């Protein structure tokens, strides 16, 4: 039988489909609201030719063959056992990372709750079978069918079924985080073909990434999730199908995950050599210095270092000198993560592009990099630094110009030809040339100096704004920047708040300027709409913090999603990058060239690293250090 779960907006209410009907094998279709539709195959008579596959790549074909034994960055001989303790900043008040409310533990995803397919971390964007052992898909990617592994089980022993998949899709589409609502809202119809097979049709949507987005959808047990209360924060351990269970919760302080000995997927190729610790404990620290002191005492096993001063000078303690603590500097194959100060263009103070450009010029990177960061950082324009996707310093190709042609003037000529560079000061902290250029822009935007205060020529209101921060590092950078703009008569105040308040205000766009980082992949896609698509600008909880609404951006994202060949894809991403640079929506502070990882030597890792860098799920504990 087929259960058709179509767009429900205009359908009458009715009883839910019950799983028992599936066993009857009737050649009928039933909507999730109970509207009975006669006939067997709902697909059109001219069904597109489909192929069965073990994996799916955004562009091209999966790198690994159908009979691969393990992922290239995993050690299939890694010993099981021991415990990994992870130190994390902040706190938590929820175990549901799929909703807007609360500060959730992100590790629930992956460790506890699985998806249909698993990401290969050595490729730009390729997925391999996990809960779904195979897929069927047509060349146009107008639909995808997932065939669930009959061995798949939730931690309560219940099988994972097509009904769970459809339930998860509908629940996250209607009540999940904004990115889920945006992505899953594109699906035209879901059909349960049999208890272990589900098909999604895309209704003509031109989005070649959508099948992969569905493959990464978290699958929830429909028998244990209370959909009426799903949007409420909860510390109740979720029922998942993953390799770990939540076994201990200390609200806001720590979470313990215990490896499930009966985990159904332990021998899958995508899992071989992964999930090696018997126990994973997440300890949360509200204060950065206290967290570092705890690491030095061996209270947790590894940390990702983000503070240059600490990396440069802070690891000269006895355990590090003895070699008990190892420091790894990892160069990934991904775009370099970049920190930004983000303008909220919803606020009148930042509505004028010339103001944003002038404020970008006033950030003195050379002085701050030398005095705060020991010269360890670099800086580039745009949002895909250090990769082939970056348009910064690169002339536009013919394909890029073709994509941008309908949007004449949306990209500055010097950004289009690759000659534009971020302003560079002399590093003195008092560069008058840069200051004069910024004041000329501000004058053109209607501002003039009144003594030591820059005022709007018409309203006489001073140019002033607030920078919202939540960490000491952010505060230090913000205070340095406030000193930079003060030389131009601009009043920037810095407000430090705790992590919970920062998240609440950031999600509600209740700020003038914030510090933020967008981590990009080599295969950006639908999430770009979530970052800076026009529709996301007015939806609380998206990452379009700057509030940009630009039709050309939406068009470039659409072109990315339609691309079938890598050159067309790269051209669309670079065109997007050029538009974002032209808009001066955020000030690039610095880019992180390497991952700085410190770990106690009781934690071992494979010799081969993934394209994405460090992966704790591939690590194991040295057998000689296993405790009782």
Quickly state the pLDDT bin for 612 (edges 50, 70, 90): very high
Query: Token pair for residue 625?
Result: 């250090």
Give residue 24's pLDDT: 31
Domain total in the chain = 3
Claim to verify: residue 190 and residue 298 sit in the same structural domain: no
Q: Which of 250, 219, 282, 218 is CA-nearest to residue 84?
A: 282
Residue 442 lies in a domain: no
Residue 394 belongs to domain spanning: 338-428+496-591
Distance, in Å, from the CA atom of 544 to the CA atom of 303, rounded to the nearest integer, reads 29
Indicate whether 29 pLDDT > 50: no
Give residue 35's pLDDT: 29
Q: Name the pTM for this structure.
A: 0.79
Average pLDDT, stretch 494-504?
A: 93
Average pLDDT, stretch 139-164?
A: 97
Residue 620 lies in a domain: yes
Residue 285 lies in a domain: yes
**DSSP class per residue in 298-359:** TSSSEEEE--HHIIIIIT-SHHHHHTSEEEEEE--SSPPPEEEEEE-TTSGGG-SHHHHHHH
Max CA distance (Å), the chain: 84
Query: Token pair for residue 32?
Result: 């999730």
Termini Cα distance of the chain: 53
**Model pLDDT for residues 437-479, shown as the tens digit of each residue:** 999 999 999 999 999 999 999 999 999 999 999 988 899 999 9
Claim to verify: residue 159 and residue 117 sit in the same structural domain: yes
**Model pLDDT for residues 556-606, shown as the tens digit of each residue:** 999 998 998 999 999 999 999 999 999 999 999 999 889 999 999 999 999
Distance, in Å, from the CA atom of 212 to the CA atom of 268, rounded to the nearest integer, reads 20
Average pLDDT, stretch 172-189?
A: 93
Claim to verify: residue 294 and residue 414 sit in the same structural domain: no
Claim to verify: residue 543 and residue 612 sit in the same structural domain: no
Distance, in Å, from the CA atom of 57 to the CA atom of 63, rounded to the nearest integer, reads 9
Give residue 309's pLDDT: 87
Distance, in Å, from the CA atom of 116 to the CA atom of 94, rounded to the nearest integer, reads 24
Query: Token pair for residue 504?
Result: 């609440």
3-state secondary structure at position 399 = helix
Residue 471 lies in a domain: no
Claim to verify: residue 158 and residue 205 sit in the same structural domain: yes
Q: What b/e sequence results for 566-603 when a residue is b if at least 16 CB atoms lie within 10 Å of its CB, and e otherwise?
A: eebbbbbbbbbbbbbbbbbbbbbbbbbbebbbbbbebb
Indicate whether 30 pLDDT > 50: no
Quickly state the pLDDT bin for 150 (edges 50, 70, 90): very high
Out of 234-238, 369-373, 479-483, 594-598, pick the least confident: 369-373
Claim to verify: residue 267 and residue 347 sit in the same structural domain: no
Claim to verify: residue 274 and residue 128 sit in the same structural domain: no
Residue 78 lies in a domain: no
**Model pLDDT for residues 307-334, shown as the tens digit of each residue:** 888 999 999 999 999 999 999 999 999 9
**DSSP class per residue in 484-505:** HHHTTT-EEEEEE--HHHHHHH
For the domain that residue 282 is a member of, what is the CATH number? 3.40.190.10
Distance, in Å, from the CA atom of 210 to the CA atom of 183, rounded to the nearest integer, reads 7
Residue 486 lies in a domain: no
Give residue 625's pLDDT: 65
Quickly state the pLDDT bin for 231 (edges 50, 70, 90): very high
Count CB atoms within 10 A of the CB of residue 133: 17
3-state secondary structure at position 85 = strand
Count CB atoms within 10 A of the CB of residue 530: 21
Residues with Cβ within 8 Å of 523's Cβ and at least 6 positions away in sequence, in order, are 58, 59, 124, 125
Question: What is the chain's mean pLDDT, rounded?
Answer: 90
**Model pLDDT for residues 517-564, shown as the tens digit of each residue:** 988 999 998 899 999 999 999 999 899 999 999 999 999 999 998 998
Claim to verify: residue 197 and residue 288 sit in the same structural domain: no
Claim to verify: residue 423 and residue 507 sit in the same structural domain: yes
**Model pLDDT for residues 52-85, shown as the tens digit of each residue:** 999 999 999 999 999 999 999 999 999 999 999 9
Claim to verify: residue 279 and residue 296 sit in the same structural domain: yes
Q: Say if CB 349 and CB 465 are below 8 A apart.
A: yes
3-state secondary structure at position 53 = strand
Q: Which of 265, 225, 232 is CA-nearest to residue 110?
A: 265
Q: Say if CB 458 and CB 446 are below 8 A apart.
A: yes
Distance, in Å, from the CA atom of 503 to the CA atom of 610, rounded to the nearest integer, reads 31
Return the ∠ at Cα 409 (arms to 408 and 413), rounded to 5°. Answer: 120
**Model pLDDT for residues 112-137, shown as the tens digit of each residue:** 999 999 999 999 999 999 999 999 99
**In 90-211, which ranges are E strands?**
117-119, 126-129, 132-138, 143-148, 189-194, 197-201
Claim to verify: residue 570 and residue 529 sit in the same structural domain: yes
Residue 296 — φ and ψ, nearest 5°? Answer: -60, -30
Residue 152 lies in a domain: yes
């Amino acid at each position: 039988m087929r259960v058709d779960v179509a767009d429900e907006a205009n359908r009458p209410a009715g009883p839910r489909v019950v799983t028992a009907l599936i066993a009857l094998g009737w050649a009928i279709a039933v909507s999730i609201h109970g509207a009975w539709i006669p006939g067997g195959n709902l697909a059109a008579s001219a069904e597109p030719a489909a192929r069965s596959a073990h994996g799916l790549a955004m562009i091209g074909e999966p790198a690994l063959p159908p009979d691969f034994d393990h992922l290239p960055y995993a050690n299939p001989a890694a010993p099981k056992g021991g415990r990994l303790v992870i130190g994390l900043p902040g706190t938590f008040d929820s175990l549901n990372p799929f909703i807007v409310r609360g500060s959730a533990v992100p590790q629930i995803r992956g460790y506890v709750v699985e998806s249909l397919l698993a990401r290969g971390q050595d490729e730009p964007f390729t997925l391999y079978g996990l809960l779904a052992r195979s897929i069927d898909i047509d060349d146009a990617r107008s639909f995808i069918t997932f065939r669930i592994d009959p061995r798949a089980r939730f931690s309560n022993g219940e099988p994972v079924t097509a009904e769970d998949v459809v339930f998860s899709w509908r629940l996250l589409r209607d009540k999940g985080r904004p990115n889920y609502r945006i992505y899953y809202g594109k699906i035209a119809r879901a059909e349960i073909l049999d208890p272990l097979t589900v098909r999604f049709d895309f209704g003509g949507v031109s989005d070649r990434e959508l099948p992969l987005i569905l493959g990464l959808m978290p699958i929830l047990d429909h028998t244990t999730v209370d959909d009426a209360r799903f949007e409420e924060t909860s510390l109740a351990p979720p029922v998942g199908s993953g390799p770990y269970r939540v076994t201990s919760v200390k609200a806001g302080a720590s979470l313990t995950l215990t490896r499930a000995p009966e985990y159904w997927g332990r021998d899958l190729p995508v899992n071989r050599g992964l999930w090696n610790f018997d126990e994973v404990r997440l300890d949360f620290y509200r204060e950065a210095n206290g967290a570092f002191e705890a690491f030095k005492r061996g209270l947790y096993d590894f940390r990702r270092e983000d503070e240059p001063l600490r990396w440069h000078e802070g690891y000269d303690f006895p355990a590090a000198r003895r070699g008990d603590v190892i420091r790894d500097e990892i160069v990934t194959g991904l775009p370099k993560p970049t920190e930004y100060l983000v303008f909220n263009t919803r606020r009148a103070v930042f509505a004028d592009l010339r103001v944003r450009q002038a404020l970008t010029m006033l950030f003195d990177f050379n002085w701050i990099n030398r005095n705060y960061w020991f010269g360890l950082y670099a800086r580039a324009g745009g949002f895909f630094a250090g990769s082939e996707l970056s348009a910064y310093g690169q002339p536009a190709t013919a394909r890029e110009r073709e994509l941008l042609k309908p949007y004449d003037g949306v990209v500055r000529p010097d950004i289009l030809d690759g000659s534009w560079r971020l302003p560079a000061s002399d590093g003195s902290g008092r560069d008058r040339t840069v200051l004069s250029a910024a004041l000329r822009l501000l004058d053109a935007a209607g501002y003039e100096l009144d003594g030591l205060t820059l005022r709007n020529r018409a309203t006489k209101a001073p140019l002033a704004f607030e920078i919202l921060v939540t960490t000491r590092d952010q505060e230090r950078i913000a205070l340095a920047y406030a000193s930079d703009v003060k030389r131009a008569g601009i009043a920037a105040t810095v407000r430090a708040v705790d992590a919970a308040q920062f998240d609440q205000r950031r999600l509600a766009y209740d700020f003038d300027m914030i510090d933020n980082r967008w981590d990009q992949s080599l295969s950006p896609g639908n999430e770009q709409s979530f970052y800076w698509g026009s529709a996301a600008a007015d939806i609380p909880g998206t990452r379009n913090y700057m509030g940009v609404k630009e039709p050309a951006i939406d068009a470039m994202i659409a072109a990315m999603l339609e691309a079938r060949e890598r050159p067309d894809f790269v051209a669309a991403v670079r065109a997007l990058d050029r538009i974002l640079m032209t808009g001066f929506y955020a000030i690039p502070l610095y880019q992180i060239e390497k991952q700085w990882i410190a770990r106690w030597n009781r934690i071992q890792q494979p010799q081969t690293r993934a394209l994405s860098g460090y992966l704790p799920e591939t690590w194991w504990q040295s057998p000689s250090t296993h405790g009782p």
